Each structure stands twice: as structure tokens, then as C-alpha cells.
Chain A
Amino acid sequence: MIYHWDWSVPISAPYLGWLMSGLAWTLLVAGAAWVIAFVLGAAIGILRTLPHRGARMIGAVYVTVFRSVPLLLQLFLWYFVVPELLPASVAHWIKRDLPLPEYWTSVIGLGLFTAARIAEQFRAGIQAVGRGQSMAAAASGLTLLQSYRYVLLPVAARYVLPPLTSEFLNVVKNSSLALTIGLLELTGQSRQIEGVTFHGIEAFTAATLIYVALTLTAIAAMRAIERVVAIPGLMARV
């Protein structure tokens, strides 16, 4: 069997438009999931470092639950199972009236899953700042809130930047799982092109290149941030 290469497929109408639409959805899913993951992850990570035992417990339970179940299964659970468990009126609204249910399910599923991972990174970052620093802050009369606000978090955030970069790339790539619940993001669109044109190699190559371009841009941006916030004398400028 002879494969007829046609590299014009991914850059010709309407397929280029499909890919661009897929890219837009990838960015929309990843971006919104990132906001949830970052805010919730930071909060849970902070909870895990507090002196209060109950707060640490809540954080630990969250991380354990969301880290232990495969992301794909979590998406299925949010999409197929959770609506059935909710009160009838809410379930009805989700099934009938919620606009873009695949989109919001993907965002929530991916966001909550990634939050567990980011929480662990924040916990590690805060702990890396050290007990000595929190003692110094407490000894000077700062309240717990103030020592997090002015001492622990500003330093921890810098420690957390490199692993956060990886996590951000993961969110972008993991958003491809949204195709399993019917969202035509970048990977989904490239499959669609394959289905219509039988030029799967070209379509998947194009998707690959777009993902690589996305991640390289993200890496460069995060590196730039790392450079800007590096602490003189403490962290080598990268």
C-alpha cells in the first residue's frame, strides 16, 4: 500500500481552521483549568503547612483523593457519574441548560486533578523556606497570616516556579483528554482531520508541532519570570 503524502492538508481550508479551532479550545481548557489548579493548589498546599492539625488533614485528604484516581477516569466521573448523584434539579440543569458541558467538565476535572499536584509543590516549597524563617517571623511579632504573606510565600513562590512550569505544560498536554468526553480540542481536531482525509500522519504532525510551540513558549515565559524574581545572592540567575 502506498501512502500519498500531502503536507498541504493541515494548512489548507477547512482543515487549518479546524486545527486553529482545536488550538483555541486547548488554550481555553488549559487556561481555565490552570486558574482553578493554581488558586486551589496554592490554598491546599498552604493548608498542609499550617500549625492547625485539622487544616493539614483537609489538605492531605484532598491531595490523596485527587492524586490517586487516573485523570481520564476523573473526567468520566465528572461527566457521567457526578450529575446522577446531584439533586434532580441541579442534574437537570447540568444536562439540559449548562452551555458547553464538555468544556466545563474538562476544566473542572483537569483543574481539580492538577490542584492536587500543585498543592504538593507548594507544600514542598513552603517547607523548603524552613522552620527557622517562620520562627524568625513569629519571633518578631508577625501574625501567622503576616508571616505567610511577607516571608514564607514570597520565597516559596520562587522555589515553586520551576516545578510549576512542568505542571503548566502538563495541563496543556492533559487537556487532550477532553476529546474523550467530546470536546474537539487540538488532538480531537487532528483525529477528525484524519477521519475525513485519511492524512493522519500530516494532521498529527501538525498537532505535535503546535503543542511543541506552545510548550516552548511557556518555558521561555516562565524562565523569564524566574530571572526577574531571582533573589540576588541567593539564587543563581539562569
Chain B
Amino acid sequence: MTIPLRLDSRKAARSEPDLVQRPVAIAIDHVSKKYGDLDVLKDCSMTVRRAEVVVVCGPSGSGKSTLLKCVNGLEGFQAGAITVAGTSVGDRRTDLTKLRSQIGMVFQHFELYPHLTVLQNITLAPIRVLGRAKSEAIDKAMSLLRRVGLADKAGCYPGQLSGGQQQRAAIARALAMDPIAMLFDEPTSALDPETISEVLDVMTELARDGMTMMVVTHEMGFARHVADRVVFMDGGCILEEAPAEAFFAQPSTERARSFLSKILRQQ
């Protein structure tokens, strides 16, 4: 089986031992979550180190999006602990609002605010949450829009943009908060095949600039060439956590092997 090499590898520049010594940005420690009697997450543990890119993959319903949403407290969990940059997410005393303002999130369906222009979408939280001056927020938003190739769309409403443009704007919106980490929840799943690459290019660029990223995706090309490590989930469990090369070369569980062979055959 072959994987199309549409993304440049960014990993050549960096050696593995270097990575191990980096501080932990996101630590998920024995997290379990139930909806009534249904186990959504079972004893999940994983870490994302600073400037590391970790891809979480697995079949639909495996709990990967739920795990991601637990990281910034959009979903609660009953057992275990999650810490982001040393702050405990599940702790009642934690100021979740403040923590969330430090973690960027990108959604499958973009979730841009439809009644605001692209520029207003990006400046809303910096102005209202961080208390930045409007002019400063606008300057920053414009430079981010240039970075994602949307400088000419600042005055457009989300409904006037293509899916790929909306998702790039959503990435710019998250970056405007100067996040310590970025969470991606299937950022390309709602896009048509042609525009997927424009979003992946932006994400690859981000990874190269040293952003800490936890990415739920089915894009195995991105996982292989951009991710440092891959986490494989099924049935609410983390079955495998391995460096990307190792995961693709030799998955250690049969479940991951059959998942990979099915998903890679399509790509």
C-alpha cells in the first residue's frame, strides 16, 4: 500500500530525544466517561508535549472527538484527570473560561459566527475575553488572515466563503488568542476533496512553526508526514500510542492494522 506524498515532512529537522525532554502540554491521565450506562471513554491516558503534533485516529464512535472535547472542558468526565499546562481541567476550582481562552479549537463544521464578518469573527474573543484594543486585535487578525491566505476576505460573511476558506478563517480565529495548544476536531471531514489540502497546508505550516497540536482526523497522509505520534482509539479505549513512523510501519494491534488497511486503501 502506498500513501500519497502530498505533504512535506517537517520531522527531518527534529530528533526524537529532543522531543522527549520537552515539557508536557496536555496530560490525559486514566480518563473515563459514561453517558448513563454507556462507556464513552475507558481509562484513556496520553500526553501531548510542547510543540508536538499528536494525531488521534480511529473509527467513528471510538470516542476520539469526545476525548478531544474533554481537554478544554467542553465535555465532562467522571474519572481520571486532564491537565493542560499544569492546570487541572476537571477541578471545580479551575477557571475553565480562562483555560479555554488559552486553548485554540477548530471544529468539523467550522462554527464561524454567521452574523459576523470574517474579521469580526477573529477579533471577537481577543477584544471581549483578552481585553485587547480593537485596533490591535484588527492588526493581529489581518496578519493571521494573510498567513492563511484570506486577507481579501476580511469583510466577507462566513456564508459567502467556501468550506476550505471558512475552515482557514476558523483556524485564524483560534490563533488570534495566542493559544498554548490547538485542538482540531476532524477539521477536514466536512470539506470536499479539493479544498482539504488548503486546510492541511495551513495546519502543516502551523506544525512547522512549533505549535502544540492534538488533531482528530482521518487524514492518514497528514498523520504520517506531519504528526510526531499517533494515538489509535476504538470503543472508547486508547489501543495504541506510537511514533508516527512506527504506527504506520508496524501497528501493534490487529484492530489498528485492519483500520489502517481499510482507510489507506481508499486514499
Chain A positions within 8 Å of B, measured between CB atoms, are: 132-133, 135-143, 146, 150-151, 154-155, 158, 231-234
Contacts and interface: CB of A to CB of B under 8 A. Distances in A.
Contacts of A155: 113-115
Interface stretch (B102-110, B210-218, B235-243, B245-253): B102-110
Contacts of A142: 97, 124-125, 128-129
A140 B109 contact: no
Q: Which 8 A-B pairs have the closest CB atoms?
A: A233-B159, A141-B101, A136-B111, A233-B160, A140-B125, A139-B105, A234-B159, A141-B129
Contacts of A231: 114-115, 157, 159
B174 A234 contact: no
Nearest to A152: B113
13 contacts: A132-B109, A136-B105, A136-B107, A140-B100, A140-B129, A140-B174, A140-B177, A141-B101, A141-B177, A150-B128, A151-B113, A155-B115, A233-B114
Nearest to A133: B111
Given A140-B173, A150-B124, A234 B157 contact: yes
B14 interface: no
B167 interface: no
B37 to A, nearest CB: 21
Contact of A135 (B74, B97, B101): B74
B98 interface: yes
A133 B102 CA distance: 18
A139 B124 contact: no
Given A136-B111, A139-B105, A142-B124, 7 more contacts: A132-B109, A140-B101, A141-B102, A141-B129, A150-B124, A233-B159, A234-B157
A150 B127 CA distance: 12
Contacts of B101: 140-141
Interface of B: 69, 72, 74, 97-98, 100-105, 107, 109, 111-115, 124-125, 128-130, 156-161, 173-174, 177, 183
Interface of A is mostly: helix
A232 B97 contact: no
Contacts of B74: 135, 138-139
A152 to B, nearest CB: 10
B111 A141 contact: no
A136 B111 CA distance: 6
A151 B105 CA distance: 17
B174 to A, nearest CB: 7
Contacts of A139: 72, 74, 100, 103-105, 183
A234 to B, nearest CB: 4
Contacts of B158: 233-234
A138 B98 CA distance: 10
Contacts of A150: 113, 124, 128
Scoring B111, B128, B174 by chain A CB atoms within 10 A of each residue's CB, the highest score goes to B111
Contact of B100 (A132, A138, A151, A234): A138
A141 B115 contact: no
Contacts of A143: 97
Contact of A233 (B97, B103, B157, B183): B157
B159 A140 contact: no
A157 to B, nearest CB: 9
A41 B160 CA distance: 33
A128 to B, nearest CB: 12
Given A233-B159, A233-B160, A234-B157, A141 B97 contact: yes
Contacts of B177: 140-141
B113 A141 contact: no
A130 to B, nearest CB: 8
Nearest to B174: A140
B160 A232 contact: yes
Contacts of A146: 128-129
Scoring B115, B130, B161 by chain A CB atoms within 10 A of each residue's CB, the highest score goes to B115
B100 A133 contact: no
B108 to A, nearest CB: 8
Given A138-B100, A139-B100, A140-B174, A132 B159 contact: no
Nearest to A137: B113
A238 to B, nearest CB: 16
A138 B69 CA distance: 11
Contacts of B112: 136
A182 B49 CA distance: 76
Contact of B114 (A137, A138, A234): A234
B105 to A, nearest CB: 4
